[in-house]
Amino acid sequence: MRILAIISGEYGQRHVDNIRAHGPEHWHTEIWQAPTVLPPIVDYPEDYIPATLPPADLILALQEHKAVAQLIPDVAQMTGAQAVIAPVDNVAWLPPGLANQLRRWLASIDVVGVFPKPFCSLTETHFNVRRHRQDYNHPIIREFAAHFGQPDLQLTIDPDQRVITAARVRRDACCGCARHVAQKLIGISVDEAEVQAGLAHHHYPCWASMVRDPDFNDTLMHVSGNLLKDNVGQQVKPFKRVTMIRPSGRVE
């Protein structure tokens, strides 16, 4: 699979580095470093896009400026891409109205676009969480999401000691956060696993926005962290001990 990542800073570079380090060998990931200075409204995209770009099957839109996001359809058309993943880890970089416009523009040139909010909500069948969940069906996006998206760890737990002895990454967050958390969980008690997963996620650090998002009434960083904590929590739950407290003076 040929991937072209649109980046404009360290956020995008971190994702590309993780894809190159841990993605399948047959993937080829190229970068287009987008301009850092653009007008608020881009009337002539050709003024800001190179004369040529490498051919791609998938565009990863990892820009940190909403003006750059306006160039996505032209980049997709120039490269012959069939699909676009434009994550929303910060609504300042990709506001909802612009995301809706991009979806329509891409559809008009027969390109499928998905906009996972946050990026680590992407699975092989859907993206986003709670009532905002959206299904999709595209083989290229599905292939990408098999490796990067909503974190999926496989924990090995010693049932006697009730500690995590191994953590295999079945699907990493694209930024590499899940791989980092997996390493931090080795030797951790099942009783502390969810808390420690949340702390490791926060300290990685996750670069999702810390501004409260109206869709979730929470920050995207917390939404992201909860996805990972839920994955860990489901696996350690059978090994946790429940302590029952009998109130003083209670009678049957």
Residue 250's pLDDT band (cuts 50, 70, 90): low
What is the reported pLDDT for 247? 66
Here the tokens at position 173 are: 């967050």
Domains of the chain, earliest start first = 2-145 (3.40.50), 152-238 (3.90.1010)
Here the tokens at position 130 are: 């709670």
* Residues 72, 102 contacting (CB under 8 angstroms): yes
For the stretch 191-226, pLDDT in tens is 999 999 999 999 998 999 999 999 999 999 999 999
For the stretch 97-126, pLDDT in tens is 999 999 999 999 999 999 999 999 999 999
What is the reported pLDDT for 248? 65
Nearest to residue 31, comparing CAs of 74, 78, 63? 63
Q: Is the pTM of this model over 0.75?
A: yes
Cα 60 to Cα 62: distance, rounded to the nearest angstrom: 6
Cα 30 to Cα 92: distance, rounded to the nearest angstrom: 25
